[in-house]
């Protein structure tokens, strides 16, 4: 409130205080006799300063009239009631106390009405101006230039969006109404806008009211519910946007009216992962933490999620200098960096001597191992590289962690390690066994965390589909019945960090991935979200299952069971026994085969270590790699791998 407005309202309050007392006496006695006049002349000059000071202390002159709301009215009620109590005490000194007490009750009611009205009336006038042509005249806009908007959701999210639109006069938006599936809300009026019906009526409402845009304001909606609403919006032919999901709201990311287009992540939306901050802080705060693969999508997100817990040092280890540089720069600008020292390290986990030197120099206490080759078809044609990185590289980091007495070691594994059909999946299963072997004799708590596909990670299907849509199609899918589990990068990273707190040594933690999703449904959703029609604008073409792929992924083997943890989204697989001496011999032979470039020996040794490994690849006998087959890798979904 400006000084001029404060003075105006101060004078208004003086008038209201004086008038209410005079009116109360008049209403009680139907007249003003000399004794009443004498009382007023004595008490009004005394009471007015006391009331004004009380109002000032209650902050009535520091409130914005434009946004007067219930808390402001509560402040008015408290201030007026306090002043009335002071007035009431004054009658103890007068002989006419019984009759004057009724006067002060009337005075209290009149003061409350008059002073409350002086605060709420400007808000009412402004709201009336907003809902009338005066608004457009004031801001130089015509009715044609404003968007007619329908809000889906008459709950807290919808009310917040509506209130934000109302308070921003510069927004060229007119809210026509709301829709909600709750039948109890039908016909209700929220901030002057009616609830027009249920979501099933969206098409009719859009047509009847000439709606230009739809705002989906249900941040708590599940992915299934949001897909249904999006389909209804698409059928209406109106543009539509949404609020951030509940996970973003909880993270404090919603500032003002942050509307955006629907993303594919919204359609797969799940309840946000709950993590125990105290448990994580207990084992990370003040520690030296090493993250391998820190330039990758999962590794860089783990680094970002760790920062709020303030490790003393965060070591960013990766093979690619550009990715580590980008990750380092992003973390340096993170507002939660605090006193954490960031140290970028360019190193290859296959270089045993270098890894050992890193541990000697920096003495990490916690290790998150996210470095791995993970692209299934690429590893089918380069099996020896999968061995070198995923098995030998992991063994190097595990061995260094054991030798240098690291407290905890958490490795990122995959659901493809269960009954693997791919080289990549088999190598990750071997890595799990290596971890288990060391865990039996090491003071380091070695654990693995197994989960499925991560939305938006490098090499994932979503970026590929988006690129194919941009190029006009077709979208290529290997099989119409292909299904996968999906999880967002932030959720997976949080649960990985949480699992690290539970590890006692040797466990394989499994993340609850929710319901599996058909890849065809994912592709169709992406096409529709791009404003196109499936089959008409963008074709979906099936190319056949690629080497190493299977129709569905599993999180457990038949011999494994699960045990619950304190987090309902994290489970522990029943551990399998590992003969460490035999495993050590097998891994040595596996490494030798990989370094000699003999893929047939790589595959046979993998099958020896992981009996459930069933490669779904065509095998032809030959002594050397067939480079022609490698050249054709990019041209055909089927790959013929040469084996001697």
CATH number at 317 reads: 3.40.50.720
Q: Residue ranges of the alpha helices (H) in 481-533? A: 489-502, 519-529
Q: Are residues 490 and 618 in the same domain?
A: yes
CA-nearest of 255, 248, 179, 178 to 220 is 248
When mean pLDDT is compared over 386-395, 417-426, 532-541, the highest value belongs to: 386-395
Write down the pLDDT at residue 254. Answer: 42
In a domain? residue 642: no
In a domain? residue 73: yes
Q: Are residues 68 and 115 in the same domain?
A: yes
Read off the pLDDT band of 258 (50, 70, 90).
low
CA-nearest of 244, 237, 192 to 219 is 244
Q: Are residues 448 and 550 in the same domain?
A: yes
Q: Does the pLDDT at position 368 exceed 90?
A: yes
Q: Are residues 309 and 261 in the same domain?
A: no
Q: Are 447 and 435 in contact (CB under 8 A)?
A: yes
Q: Does the pLDDT at position 348 exceed 90?
A: yes
Write down the pLDDT at residue 233. Answer: 86
In a domain? residue 162: yes
Domain count, the chain: 3
Domain end, chosen from 267, 302, 319, is at 267
| DSSP for 193-257, written as a single string | EEEEE-GGGHHHHHHHTT--EEEE--TT--HHHHHHHHHHHHHHT-EEEEPPPHHHHHTT---S-
When mean pLDDT is compared over 423-427, 474-478, 571-575, the highest value belongs to: 423-427
Q: Are residues 250 and 302 in the same domain?
A: no
Query: What is the SS3 assignment for 418?
Result: coil
Write down the pLDDT at residue 104. Answer: 75
* Mean pLDDT for the chain overall: 78
CA-nearest of 490, 492, 481 to 514 is 492
Q: Are residues 494 and 565 in the same domain?
A: yes
Write down the pLDDT at residue 628. Answer: 42
In a domain? residue 637: no
Q: Does the pLDDT at position 360 exceed 70?
A: yes
Write down the pLDDT at residue 361. Answer: 95
Percent of the chain with pLDDT over 90: 21
In a domain? residue 164: yes
| DSSP for 108-166, written as a single string | HHHHHHHHHHHHHHHHHHHHHHHTSHHHHHHTT--GGGSEEEEEE--SHHHHHHHHHHH
**What span, in angstroms and rounded, lies between the C-alpha atoms of 45 and 26?**
19
Q: What is the mean pLDDT of residues 294-316?
A: 92
To the query of whether residue 632 is one of the catalytic residues in this protein, the response is no
Q: Are residues 299 and 244 in the same domain?
A: no
Read off the pLDDT band of 72 (50, 70, 90).
confident
Q: Are residues 439 and 479 in the same domain?
A: yes
Condensed to tens digits (0 to 9), the pLDDT of residues 20-40 reads 878 877 877 777 777 667 666
Read off the pLDDT band of 94 (50, 70, 90).
low
Write down the pLDDT at residue 405. Answer: 93
Local structure of residue 67 (DSSP, 8 states): G
Q: Does the pLDDT at position 562 exceed 70?
A: no
Which of 185, 416, 433, 601 is catalytic? The answer is 416
Q: Are residues 45 and 161 in the same domain?
A: no
Q: Does the pLDDT at position 366 exceed 70?
A: yes
Q: What is the mean pLDDT of residues 65-86?
A: 77
Condensed to tens digits (0 to 9), the pLDDT of residues 431-442 reads 999 999 898 889
**What span, in angstroms and rounded, lies between the C-alpha atoms of 428 and 390?**
6
In a domain? residue 298: yes
Q: Does the pLDDT at position 345 exceed 50?
A: yes
Q: What is the mean pLDDT of residues 458-473?
A: 78
Read off the pLDDT band of 92 (50, 70, 90).
low
Write down the pLDDT at residue 427. Answer: 94
Q: What is the mean pLDDT of residues 152-159?
A: 84
Read off the pLDDT band of 625 (50, 70, 90).
very low
Condensed to tens digits (0 to 9), the pLDDT of residues 212-230 reads 888 888 877 777 787 788 8
Interacting residues of 412 by C-beta distance below 8 A, sequence separation 6+: 293, 298, 368, 369, 370, 372, 448, 449, 496
Condensed to tens digits (0 to 9), the pLDDT of residues 488-532 reads 787 788 888 888 888 888 888 887 766 777 888 888 877 877 767
Q: Does the pLDDT at position 638 exceed 70?
A: no
Judged by average pLDDT, the poorest of 188-197, 313-322, 379-388 is 188-197
Write down the pLDDT at residue 255. Answer: 39
Write down the pLDDT at residue 367. Answer: 95
Q: Are residues 328 and 224 in the same domain?
A: no
Write down the pLDDT at residue 271. Answer: 58
Q: Are residues 317 and 261 in the same domain?
A: no
Q: In terms of residue numbers, what domain contains 80?
A: 3-130
Q: Does the pLDDT at position 262 exceed 70?
A: no
Higher pLDDT, 448 or 65: 448
In a domain? residue 639: no
Element (H, E) at 24: helix 3-29
Judged by average pLDDT, the poorest of 94-108, 181-195, 201-215 is 94-108
Q: Are 328 and 370 in contact (CB under 8 A)?
A: no
- CB-CB neighbours of 609 under 10 Å: 20
Write down the pLDDT at residue 138. Answer: 45
Q: What is the mean pLDDT of residues 196-206?
A: 89
Write down the pLDDT at residue 549. Answer: 67
In a domain? residue 644: no
Q: Are residues 452 and 436 in the same domain?
A: yes
Higher pLDDT, 418 or 362: 362
Domain end, chosen from 223, 239, 267, is at 267
Domain end, chosen from 242, 267, 292, is at 267
């Amino acid at each position: 409130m400006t000084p001029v407005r404060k003075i105006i309202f101060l004078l208004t309050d003086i008038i209201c205080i004086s008038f209410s007392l005079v009116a109360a006496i008049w209403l009680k006695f139907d007249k003003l006799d000399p004794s009443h006049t004498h009382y007023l002349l004595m008490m009004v000059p005394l009471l007015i300063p006391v009331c004004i000071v009380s109002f000032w202390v209650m902050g009535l002159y520091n409130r914005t009239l434009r946004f007067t709301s219930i808390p402001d009215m509560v402040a008015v009620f408290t201030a007026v009631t306090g002043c009335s109590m002071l007035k009431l005490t004054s009658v103890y000194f007068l002989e006419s106390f019984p009759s004057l007490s009724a006067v002060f009750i009337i005075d209290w009611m009149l003061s409350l009405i008059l002073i409350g009205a002086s605060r709420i009336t400007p808000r009412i006038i402004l709201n009336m101006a907003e809902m009338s042509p005066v608004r457009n005249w004031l801001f130089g806009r015509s009715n044609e230039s404003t968007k007619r908007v329908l809000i889906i959701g008459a709950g807290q999210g919808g009310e917040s969006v509506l209130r934000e639109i109302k308070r921003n006069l510069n927004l060229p938006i007119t809210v026509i109404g709301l829709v909600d599936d709750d039948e109890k809300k039908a016909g209700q009026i929220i901030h002057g806008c009616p609830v027009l019906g249920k979501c099933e009526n969206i098409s009719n409402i859009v047509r009847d009211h000439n709606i230009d845009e739809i705002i989906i304001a249900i941040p708590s909606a599940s992915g299934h519910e949001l897909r249904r609403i999006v389909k209804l919006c698409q059928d209406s032919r109106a543009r539509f946007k949404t609020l951030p999901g509940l996970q973003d709201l909880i993270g404090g990311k919603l500032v003002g009216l942050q509307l955006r287009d629907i993303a594919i992540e919204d359609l797969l939306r799940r309840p946000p992962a709950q993590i125990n901050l105290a448990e994580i802080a207990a084992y990370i705060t003040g520690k030296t933490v090493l993250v391998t693969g820190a330039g990758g999508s999962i590794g860089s997100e783990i680094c970002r999620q760790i920062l709020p817990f303030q490790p003393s040092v965060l070591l960013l280890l990766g093979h690619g200098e550009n990715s580590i540089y980008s990750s380092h720069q992003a973390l340096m600008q993170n507002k939660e960096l605090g006193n954490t020292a960031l140290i970028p390290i360019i190193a290859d986990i296959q270089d045993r001597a270098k890894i050992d030197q890193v541990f000697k120099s920096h003495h990490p206490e916690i290790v998150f191992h996210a470095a791995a080759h993970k692209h299934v078809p690429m590893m089918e044609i380069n099996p020896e590289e999968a061995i070198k990185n995923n098995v030998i590289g992991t063994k190097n980091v595990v061995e260094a962690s054991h030798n240098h007495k690291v407290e905890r070691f958490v490795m990122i594994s995959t659901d493809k390690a269960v009954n693997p059909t791919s080289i990549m999946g088999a190598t990750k299963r071997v890595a799990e066994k290596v971890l288990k072997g060391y865990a039996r004799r090491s003071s380091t708590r070695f654990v693995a965390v197994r989960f499925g596909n991560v939305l938006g990670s490098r090499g994932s299907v979503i970026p590929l589909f988006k690129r194919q849509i941009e190029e006009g199609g077709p979208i290529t899918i290997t099989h119409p019945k292909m299904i996968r589990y999906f999880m967002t990068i932030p959720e997976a990273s949080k649960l990985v960090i949480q699992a690290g707190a539970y590890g006692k040594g040797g466990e394989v933690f499994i993340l609850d991935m929710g319901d599996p999703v058909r890849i065809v449904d994912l592709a169709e959703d992406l096409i529709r979200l791009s404003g196109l029609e499936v089959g008409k604008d963008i074709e979906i073409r099936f190319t056949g299952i690629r080497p190493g792929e299977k129709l569905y992924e599993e999180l457990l083997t038949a011999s494994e069971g699960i045990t619950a943890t304190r987090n309902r989204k994290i489970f522990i697989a029943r551990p399998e026994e590992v003969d460490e001496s035999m495993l050590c011999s097998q891994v040595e032979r596996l490494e030798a085969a990989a370094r000699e470039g003999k893929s047939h020996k790589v595959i046979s040794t993998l099958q020896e270590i992981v009996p459930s490994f069933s490669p779904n690849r065509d095998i032809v006998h030959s002594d050397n790699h067939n480079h022609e087959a490698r050249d054709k890798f990019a041209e055909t979904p089927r790959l013929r791998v040469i084996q001697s």
